[in-house]
Amino acid sequence: MRAAIFRGAFAIQVEQIPDAALLEPTDAVVQITHACICGTDLWPYRGQGPYQPGWQIGHEWMGIVQDIGSEVRTIKRGDRVIASYDFCDGTCEFCLQGLDSACVQGGLWGFGHEGGQAEAIRACFADATLVVVPPEVEGDEALLKAILPLTDVMAAGHHAAVSANVRAGGRVAVIGDGAVGLCATLAARRLGAEQIIVLGHQPQRLALARQFGATDIITSNGDEAVQQALEMTQGGAQAVLECVGAKETIQMAVTLSRPGGTVGFVGAPHGQEVPLGHMFSSNIGLRGGLAPARAYLPELLAEVLAGRLDPSSVLDRTVSLAEVAAGYAAMDQRQAIKVMVRP
């Protein structure tokens, strides 16, 4: 079968690899119909982090079950399934409390495991990892495209909002206008926020933020942006959704929080610095991290199927598997927010 392979910085190649096959009795083999390129995939693409040449890449995917191991109980051949970016055993302490991202046997697709930018994939812990999508969606490409972001970016945006305790009627600030920031905006609206200020710089993305529920937009930087946000919120946002992870944006997130507020951070953090003194004097909390996307999937899938949630617009370009390298280049050059791959 064909799969995207990381060969070094700026070198994603589609190569022939052995067909996906069952290894464990708890595995399923899934034919991938839809996958995505993630902002996280751009790190190895840009030569950052310890991604090794030869590894498969891609952790966002869904498809049709081709085969199941002898111990798989909840999934059957022909089912459409979606996976979260992380696989998990479903039985450990952390899975049982809904924190699959900390699963003791878990991991991320790619990163030395099977990757999602491929024609098919061996899905380990199939009962725990895969969620069945009802057959009514078949043929409804708009609906399938709305479901696909639940694998990662929509879960991350939701996690930011949940971690920051977004409440109905509250004032929310979203830092970042990438796919996660846009999904966080959608999540904040869904949870009933009254004011949603999005801080970003890309006009097209900010226009989408408006569609997703942003009530105010801030395009300035640093202290000026913080001052604007403090004025707009009359003293700070109760919930700040940090969707970038830069040292400056984490600082900004704390600084524009209202006393007693919470920063939900889902941008992988660079650096270690946080304005701890301000957190202390104003009782501002900081919580977040890798989203427990598998735990969120059933709730968010039901919302999409009910027509109450539609993050599909973050997928603004589609490529075939053969064209995947062009998809990486488009995201790297910010010509696309997020690219869908159709193997």
- Judged by the rule CB under 8 A, the positions of this chain that interact with a second copy are 94, 97, 99, 101-102, 163, 250, 259-260, 262, 265, 268-269, 271-277, 279-290, 292
Q: Which is nearer to a second copy, 53 or 260 (CB)?
A: 260
Q: How far is the CB of 309 from a second copy (least distance, A)?
A: 23
Please tell me what DSSP assigns to residue 51. Answer: P
Q: How far is the CB of 88 from a second copy (least distance, A)?
A: 12
Q: Which is nearer to a second copy, 66 or 282 (CB)?
A: 282
Q: Which is nearer to a second copy, 99 or 130 (CB)?
A: 99
Q: How far is the CB of 343 from a second copy (least distance, A)?
A: 30
161 close to 187: Cβ distance less than 8 angstroms: yes
Indicate the angle between helix axes 179-190 and 203-212, nearest 10 degrees.
Answer: 20
Strand partners, 332: none
Angle CA 71–76–78, to nearest 5: 150
Q: Which is nearer to a second copy, 228 or 262 (CB)?
A: 262
For residue 299, the tally of other CB atoms under 10 A from its CB is 11
Burial class (CB in 10 A: 0-12, 13-18, 19+), 306: exposed
Handedness of CA 226, 160, 33, 49 (dihedral sign): positive
Q: Which is nearer to a second copy, 267 or 343 (CB)?
A: 267
Q: How far is the CB of 231 from a second copy (least distance, A)?
A: 16
Q: How far is the CB of 113 from a second copy (least distance, A)?
A: 17
Assigned token pair, 23: 């290894």
Q: Which is nearer to a second copy, 16 or 272 (CB)?
A: 272
How far apart are alpha carbons 67 and 151 in whole angstroms?
Answer: 21
Q: How far is the CB of 236 from a second copy (least distance, A)?
A: 10
* Phi-psi category of residue 310: left, alpha or beta, with phi > 0 → left and psi -120 to 50 → alpha: beta
